[in-house]
Structures are given as structure tokens and as C-alpha cells.
Amino acid sequence: MKFIGIIPARFASSRFPGKPLVDIKGKTMIQRVYEQCKRSLEFVYVATDNQRIYDEVVGFGGKVVLTNSKHESGTDRLAEAIQIIQNELNIDFDVVINIQGDEPFIRPEQIAEIKTCFKDNTTEIATLVKIIENSEDIFDENKPKVILDKYMNAICFSRCPIPYLRNNAKSDWIKKHEYYRHIGMYAYKTETLLKLTKLKQSLLEKAESLEQLRWIENGYKIKVAKTNFDSLGVDTPEDLEKILKTM
């Protein structure tokens, strides 16, 4: 199968404007993400609607495409980008991996793990999960939880703790059940990605503010791979300060 990694990158951000261009020990965030992805993928592109980000990627020797600024989601930007790239390269990619542009230390191993989901040729969408190791994360609404079926497909995602362990003290939940948190990397069969952008927002998606629930409500299965590596996303300047202290 032919894989491509695409990194959607926006300049505008309510909590951290311009974060793709922020300096992290001599390299911009977007350059660090790009270089980590290249360790695991032959084809990597940045998709952006911002000229400054475009120029930065060209400047460090990366591949980049300019996309429409009106997209409602990163998935929509991804779909436009893959069509532009396939036309430019005259290559049909089987799978598109959506890599978050605010994870400067994404592990190449995680990309390799999500690729394994497509050894099953029925897989249309894939993502990653990690075992939750502390009780606080179970109840953290910013760390969506996932429940799985026995075939490693996601049954549901929620910001609430799922499952709810009735008749058990909440402090004991982590000892009584194996909880998983979602690691926000996705991979899609290319034809599936283009179909997903035509779906309307669903009720569960609106309730939880989790786009993947739209796909599940419309009958798509999401194959899951487990990872031992956490995600270190940068949503705020404070997140960046924490990461810098570890370097």
C-alpha cells in the first residue's frame, strides 16, 4: 500500500495564534513535526491556508500545499490537500495519515503502529489508543475515552468516563477496568476520506465535540491500534513551556 502523511496547519488559533511557527530550540514547531514524520513516511506534506506557514515549510525544504481558508475541519482540509497532491504527483495514494501539526515530538513508532491497521484490507479508518494509567485522566474531559469491541474496532468515544462502573468507588475504577484514551492520529483509505467530508454533522458529534462520532453514527468502523507512547500536544503557551523544560 502507498501511504502519505499530511499535516494540517492553521495560523489562527484561539488559544495560541501562530503556534506552527513558534520556535522550539532553534526549529519551528511545524518543522519538528515534519521531520519526525519523515522518519516513518516517504511522502509527507503540510496543508495550510497561511502564506507564512507555506513559506516556512518551503524554507526548510519540506513539501506543502495551500488550501482553502474556509474549511470547517482539519478533515476537510486534508481531503482538499490529497486531491491537489495526487494531481501534482500523478500518484494515487491508498492511505492518508492525518498528523496533528501541534505535536512536535510525535513518535515515528506511532505512525508505524497506525499503518498496521491496514494489513486488514477491510479497514477504512484507523486511529490509536493508549491505556490510561492514572485516575485523573479517566475523568479529564480533554482526554476522550474509547471503548473497543473484540475485533479492535471503536464502539464509542466520549469525554465522559466509559464504561461507567456502577457500584464501585470512582477511586477504584482504574483498578477494576482497563480504560483507554484516544490518541488523535487518524488514517483513512483515500476514497473513504473523500466520502467522510460529505457527511453532515451528527447529534453525538455536536454533543461531545468529537468529529469521529459523525463517522460512527453513519455506519463507519474505526480500527484501533494500541500504542505505548503518549501524545504531547501544544494547545497553549503553557503547554509549550512544559515541553521546553523537558528538553
Q: Cis omega (within 30 of 0) on the bond before 17? A: no
pLDDT, tens only, 77-104: 999 999 999 999 999 999 999 999 999 9
* Residue 169 belongs to a domain: yes
Q: pLDDT value at position 143? A: 93
Which are the contacts of 14, defined by CB distance < 8 A and separation ≥ 6? none
Residues 142, 219: one domain?
Answer: yes
CATH number of the domain to which 163 belongs: 3.90.550.10
Q: pLDDT value at position 114? A: 98
Q: pLDDT value at position 243? A: 77
Residues 61, 134: one domain?
Answer: no
CA distance 6 to 65: 10
Q: Hey, which bits of the chain come out as E strands?
A: 3-9, 23-24, 27-28, 44-48, 64-66, 95-98, 125-131, 145-148, 154-158, 180-189, 222-226
Q: pLDDT value at position 152? A: 98
| Residue 3 · residue 114 · CB < 8 Å | no
* Residue 242 belongs to a domain: no
Residues 154, 84: one domain?
Answer: no
Residues 138, 216: one domain?
Answer: yes
* Residue 235 belongs to a domain: no
Q: pLDDT value at position 42? A: 98
Residues 144, 211: one domain?
Answer: yes
Residue 161 lies in domain: 121-195+202-230
Residue ending a domain, among 106, 130, 149, is 106
Q: pLDDT value at position 219? A: 98
* Residue 243 belongs to a domain: no
Q: pLDDT value at position 232? A: 80
Residues 139, 81: one domain?
Answer: no
Residues 96, 157: one domain?
Answer: no
Residues 88, 174: one domain?
Answer: no
CA distance 84 to 106: 25
User: How many Å separate Cα 144 from the centre of its chain?
Assistant: 13
| Residue 16 · residue 234 · CB < 8 Å | yes
Residues 151, 210: one domain?
Answer: yes
Instruction: Specify the number of domains making up the chain.
Output: 2
* Low-confidence spans in the chain with pLDDT less than 50: none
Cα→Cα distances 232→106, 173, 200, 210, Å:
7, 25, 30, 19
CA distance 25 to 103: 15
Q: Exposed/middle/buried for 17, CB within 10 Å: 0-12, 13-18, 19+?
A: exposed
Q: Which residue has the cell 504531547?
A: 232
